[in-house]
Amino acid sequence: MSATHAVTFWNGIYAARSAATDPQPNDLLTELVSNLSPADALDLGCGDGGDTLWLADLGWHVTAVDISAVALARLTDLAISHGLGNRVTAEQHDLRKSFPHGRFDLISAHYLHTPFDLDRATVLRAAAHALCPGGRLLVVDHGSTAPWSWNQDPDFRYPSPREVAAGIALDPATWLVERADSPRRIATGPDGRTAEVTDHVLLIRRTV
């Protein structure tokens, strides 16, 4: 599918629902990042902006990236209304074609899944190379299909965190896998339904 189709698809996803007024951060982000000193962060696939706003409120300067102009416009308005406009920079990227410039102390990629072709290994490798020494890349993927997911293919297989790490193929002399596991939790979907889901969590630190 072309970049135009991907943009149209994701703009339609966000435009079809009301704008979030108080989006919440992902639980695993708050669990793993709360004790880090705020610096420069990159939120890949920022969506409604819950992670971006939470990080910015803690003092991080966040580059928020999404393919959807609708999502980014809403996030920009929210950041300003929360008094965080000076800590949030919204950038539209189709990660198949471009990646944000800069060096970051934290890069978060939560649920970076799409029905369109995306070489995730290449994207995540670029993210790892964009880390400052000591910086962390947090990748949280779906490990199961929620009832509200757009992907309801019963035969779809979710790669394990170790498989994702192997696909990125980083030099262990420079990058260290600090966590690779599959916790379960009770999640709430956009329509208010709850279900038990599995997350695949991969945390990588750049050591030099």
Q: What is the pTM of this model?
A: 0.93
Per-residue pLDDT band for 155 (boundaries 50, 70, 90) equals confident
What are 122-150's pLDDT values in tens digits?
999 999 999 999 999 999 999 998 888 87
At 9 the pLDDT is 94
How far is residue 74's CA from residue 198's CA, in Å, rounded to a whole number?
29
* Structural domain spans, the chain: 3-206
Q: For the domain 3-206, what is the CATH code?
A: 3.40.50.150
Average pLDDT over residues 10-32: 93
Q: What mean pLDDT is reported for the chain?
A: 94
Checking if the pLDDT of 26 tops 80, the result is yes
At 2 the pLDDT is 59
